[in-house]
Amino acid sequence: MPIRPIELRKLENKTANVYEAVIVAAKRARNINDNAKLEFTTLLNTMIPNVDDEFEEKENPDQLRLSLEFENRKKPHLQAIDELIEGKVEFRYKEDLV
């Protein structure tokens, strides 16, 4: 995977400082990853396993296709940074919640 540099000024424009941008992007990436895991598990559980005899499971082409599809998706941390730069991520401080 090629390395794509990120313009730090773009991150600073969306948050107070770079540290804050990293924290916000990390939390969003974790959220994206959790959603992807849930989606993958749900789709995997709907598939019927390919079993020829009771002791040996064979490779299921549908499961392999699904695994490759999820593997080829954009990585959560890159998606989170792009969302932050595009202004799609909303965040606030805990003391603002009261």
Domain count, the chain: 1
Find the domain containing 32 and state its range.
Answer: 8-45+58-97
Q: Which residues of the chain have pLDDT under 50?
A: none
Between the alpha carbon of residue 52 and those of residues 23, 57, 60, 62, the distances in Å are 48, 7, 11, 16
> Within a domain: residue 3?
no
Element (H, E) at 95: none
> Within a domain: residue 36?
yes
Element (H, E) at 53: strand 51-53
42-51: which pairs have CB atoms within 8 A and are 24 or more residues apart? Answer: none
pTM for the complete prediction? 0.79
Q: pLDDT tens digits for 41-61?
A: 999 988 877 666 566 667 788
> Within a domain: residue 1?
no
CA 83 to chain CA centroid, Å, is 12
Tokens of 11: 């991150």
Return the pLDDT at 4.
Answer: 80
